A = this chain, B = another copy of it.
């Protein structure tokens, strides 16, 4: 199988280069052979709002997903170090890495302080958060102090602060390199942004992804299984592979939230299928 895979991989690379015109096509002939790429799936903890920690872990194990961000309903903000260790430990025991916390809304300096202490206790690499505009500089200083990244989350047309990724990027582009974006592709599309273009345009600042689908590129669109909606996943995956995205593609499934496993499974399967075909 390896030989055929390599063959098609080369063909795909050639196609990409050819599409850019003869100069790029020639350049690709001179480039070193690229490593086999892939994308890592994760789960955004909000998907499990109706489930306790054990049930959430059981679902993740069934889905074969081993990276997660936790919401406060699973890991309360004021948890003791012992409690934090206990909760994170249950995920670790099940083979799941808690890589971030959030989404956390931060409207005061005290909430920023609490968030970074909380993330430090949990030993995570990033906070997925929403600091108010006037707290961005204060948050940047905390990022430097704690060496914990912040990935600011866009929440669609209803979001007064960050409807789409550009609303984040324009405010952080001069900041420390550890201040970035959690690109929510469903909310981005509802806000009129093309997720694949956002990935390319803000490449160095995309730290995390919320993977989902929505019924239409419209404000009132509803959540739907990945692949059944309006998002162009082949284009998105191409963009993520093109920027060598090394973060997680975390599924945030918001349909059938009291019986989400079939839809989560279909969504994870679809995304993996698109990736498999893109790297074949």
Contact = CB atoms under 8 A, between A and B. Distances in A.
Interface in A256-270: 261-270
A254 to B, nearest CB: 16
B269 A235 contact: no
Interface stretch (A6-14, A47-55, A75-83, A166-174): A6-14
A62 interface: yes
Contacts of A39: none
A4 B261 contact: no
A272 interface: yes
A11 B7 contact: no
A7, A11, A18, A270, most chain B CB atoms within 10 A: A270
Contact of A273 (B15, B261, B272): B272
Nearest to A226: B269
A271 interface: yes
Interface in A9-48: 11-12, 14-16, 18-19
A278 B277 contact: yes
A8 B227 contact: no
Interface string A231-248: 011110110000000000
A263 B59 CA distance: 12
Number of copies: 2
Contacts of A8: 19, 234-235, 238
B15 A18 contact: yes
A104 interface: no
Given A262-B261, A265-B265, A277-B277, A272 B227 contact: yes
Contacts of A273: 227, 233, 269-277
A228 interface: yes
Q: Chain A contact residues (Cβ within 8 angstroms of B): what range?
A: 35 or more
Interface string A50-81: 00000000000011100000000000000000
Contacts of A271: 269, 273
Interface string A218-230: 0000000111100
A278 B270 CA distance: 13
Given A18-B18, A233-B276, A225 B269 contact: yes
A136 interface: no
A1 interface: yes
Contacts of A11: 15-16, 18-19
26 contacts: A4-B235, A5-B235, A8-B19, A11-B16, A11-B19, A12-B15, A14-B15, A15-B15, A18-B18, A227-B269, A227-B272, A233-B277, A234-B276, A234-B277, A261-B262, A263-B265, A265-B265, A265-B269, A266-B269, A269-B269, A269-B270, A269-B271, A269-B273, A270-B270, A272-B273, A273-B277
